[in-house]
Amino acid sequence: MNKEVDVLIVGSGFGGLGLGAKLKQNNHPSFVIIERANDVGGAWRDNTYPGVECDVPSHLYSFSWKMNPNWSKTFAPGDEILNYMRDCAKDENLLENIDFNTEMLTSTWNSKDKLWHIETTQGLYIARYLVTAAGHLADEHLPNIEGLKDFKGDCFHSARWNNDADLTNKRVAIVGSGASAIQIVPEISKIAKEVVVFQRSAAYVVPRPDSIYTEQQKRLFKRMPSEMNKLRQDIFWAGEYNFIQRRNVPKFVNEAKKTALDHLESQVEDPDIREKLTPDYEIGCKRLLISNHYFPTFNQPHVCLEASALHKVEGNTLFGKSGVRYEDIDTIILATGFEATQPPFAKRVFNDQGHSLDAQWDKGMQAYDAITVHNFPNLFVINGPNTGLGHNSVVYIIEAQVDYIMEALEHIKIENKTVFEAKKSSEEQFVTRLQQMSEGTVWLAGGCKSWYVDQRSGNLTLVWPDFAYSFRDNNGTFHREGYDLS
């Protein structure tokens, strides 16, 4: 049986839950969230690797309308965040609106009935408005490495952790040195017999100002929520402060670089290892990482840093691009990131011409107001093009996008229309401005290769190249003038 709804949301991470909660709070009569997994949480449900934590303090990395006095520490562990999201779904009565184990296979805009036809693993849904909240770091990137398929031991991606794989006293290889790897490596090193880290390019790492909230502090947050809110604002503006580094203002770039390199110097004893851990690009060009435990791991004799990418696998022997070989490896952990630049959901969304969003984005993702796309009526993309941040919380961005959608839906209703489509000219104007704003930022000028930039066009398609507050200013309210309504 077809399921007909007004709004269909794909995904139940922060994006899907954030929009769902607002629709619910506004008594929206007809919406559904479809989720391919069997639980809410998105990235926080999928990433269960040892040491998983957020990198933005939790009092900010959470919904503004659901502050949590009970965060155990500055950067909450992943399971705490997941439980917070489950509580959100429950407290907002959203579970009745979520269809789990339901994967969007294809969504097609039908210009005759002016509705989206969404094929899923549980049958067909028909919706007036389609919102993809399928995540930007939701689908793992698996590197194409010679011989990897034939590897005899356990091999899995960091976002698909294999809890049955016992790493105690094993020889473990970790491929990658990004945000996930630096959380995994110190934890695995505690139990493994030997660890080798394949590092294609070194990361800048700065201290992690983490502390545990005492019972007294938590009680204050409960008794006086304004104190919790004050902390949230402090965190937000401390994060915003750092945008100037991404804007590539030398004094501040140099300050940040000094902090990172001093951190390395003070934490790693061996000058050769330090050298290998020193990046060859400008700070901030790739994601700036925070950890107090990653660098010291390399002081231990059983942990080895291979300063080149994993090149090939032969049986249980791994070869670095440098030619160095590592034998008798029991387990390979791929901390190799996500399909961010070309998100897989875009291959599944089609306009009435039969063209996919992915095909339209053949030179890179782009959207008007970072949320709607010409040729694709009645579609909102949450956490799509130019929504990432190098310096602040993605949940803040998601909330701005949710506001936008709520306003858009209201507006369309008031005008008595049912279909909206972003004008091509508005989208292009918006994107041109973004490109001008991106010029000279450290993402483009920093001399690195990162997933923030689409290699096909050289454009910065993943991040918002300005302050987070300015994302909300620019993209937190519906701009009627950019649309055709019918």
Partner 1 sequence: MNLSENKKIETTFNGLPLNYYDSGVPRVENDNLPMVIIHGTTGSTDTHFGYLFPLISSRCRVISIDWSNINEDKLTLSDLKEQVYSVINMTLEGKKYNLLGYSLGAVIAAKIASERVNDVSGLILVAGWQKTDEHQILRNHIWNILRKENSEALKLYMSFCAFSTSFIQNSSLEQTVENAKKIEINEFIDKQMKLNSTIDITDDLPRIKAKTLVIGCSQDLMVPTHHSKQLFSSIDRASYLEIPSGHGVVYERPAELFQHIDHFISNPERFTDGSVINVRQA
Ligand X SMILES: Cc1cc2nc3c(=O)[nH]c(=O)nc-3n(C[C@H](O)[C@H](O)[C@H](O)COP(=O)(O)OP(=O)(O)OC[C@H]3O[C@@H](n4cnc5c(N)ncnc54)[C@H](O)[C@@H]3O)c2cc1C
Applying CB under 8 A, which residues contact partner 1? 60, 64, 229-230, 232-234, 236-237, 240-241, 243-244, 247, 249-252, 396, 433, 436-437, 439-440, 467-470, 473
Residue 76 binds which entry of partner 1, ligand X, none, with Cβ cut-offs from 5 to 8 Å by kind?
Answer: none
DSSP 342: S
Query: Of the ranges 11-19, 168-176, 277-285, 364-372, which one interacts with ligand X (CB under 6 A)?
Result: 11-19
Residue 13 binds which entry of ligand X, partner 1, none, with Cβ cut-offs from 5 to 8 Å by kind?
Answer: ligand X
Residue 56 binds which entry of ligand X, partner 1, none, with Cβ cut-offs from 5 to 8 Å by kind?
Answer: ligand X
Minimum distance of partner 1 from residue 469's CB (angstroms): 5
Interaction of residue 12 with ligand X, rule CB under 6 A: yes
Residue 137 binds which entry of ligand X, partner 1, none, with Cβ cut-offs from 5 to 8 Å by kind?
Answer: ligand X
Residue 337 binds which entry of partner 1, ligand X, none, with Cβ cut-offs from 5 to 8 Å by kind?
Answer: none
Interaction of residue 11 with ligand X, rule CB under 6 A: yes
- Nearer Cβ to ligand X, position 282 or 399? 399
DSSP 416: T
Residue 154 binds which entry of ligand X, partner 1, none, with Cβ cut-offs from 5 to 8 Å by kind?
Answer: none
Count Cβ atoms below 10 Å from residue 325 Cβ, excluding itself.
13
Residue numbers 271-330 binding ligand X by CB under 6 A: none
Confirm if 19 and 9 have CB atoms less than 8 A apart. Answer: yes
292 phi/psi in degrees, rounded to 5: -100, -10
Confirm if 422 and 368 have CB atoms less than 8 A apart. Answer: yes
Q: Which of 424, 437, 346 is nearest to 385 (CA)?
A: 346
For residue 364, give every residue at least 6 positions away whose Cβ sits within 8 Å of its Cβ, in sequence order, or none.
341, 385, 454, 456, 457, 459, 461
Q: How many CA atoms lie within 13 A of 403 on its CB side?
A: 18
For residue 269, give every residue at least 6 positions away whose Cβ sits within 8 Å of its Cβ, in sequence order, or none.
299
Residue numbers 99-158 binding ligand X by CB under 6 A: 103-104, 133-138
By CB under 6 A, how many residues form the interface with ligand X? 33
Q: Is 139 left (phi over 0), alpha (psi -120 to 50) or beta?
A: beta
For residue 107, give every residue at least 6 positions away whose Cβ sits within 8 Å of its Cβ, in sequence order, or none.
10, 116, 117, 118, 119, 130, 348, 349, 350
Residue numbers 167-196 binding ligand X by CB under 6 A: 180
Cα 143 → chain centroid: 19
Residue 34 binds which entry of partner 1, ligand X, none, with Cβ cut-offs from 5 to 8 Å by kind?
Answer: ligand X
Nearest residue by C-beta to ligand X? Answer: 42
Residue type, 244: I
Helix (H, G, I), strand (E, B) or coil at 151: coil
Interaction of residue 54 with ligand X, rule CB under 6 A: yes
- Nearer Cβ to ligand X, position 95 or 304? 95
Which residues are bridge partners to 109 per DSSP? 116
- Nearer Cβ to ligand X, position 65 or 270? 65
Q: Which two tokens stand for residue 123?
A: 């049958």
Interaction of residue 377 with ligand X, rule CB under 6 A: no
Residue 189 binds which entry of ligand X, partner 1, none, with Cβ cut-offs from 5 to 8 Å by kind?
Answer: none
Task: Name the residues that contact ligand X, by CB under 6 A.
Answer: 10-16, 34-37, 42-43, 47, 52, 54-56, 61, 103-104, 133-138, 180, 345, 382-383, 393-394
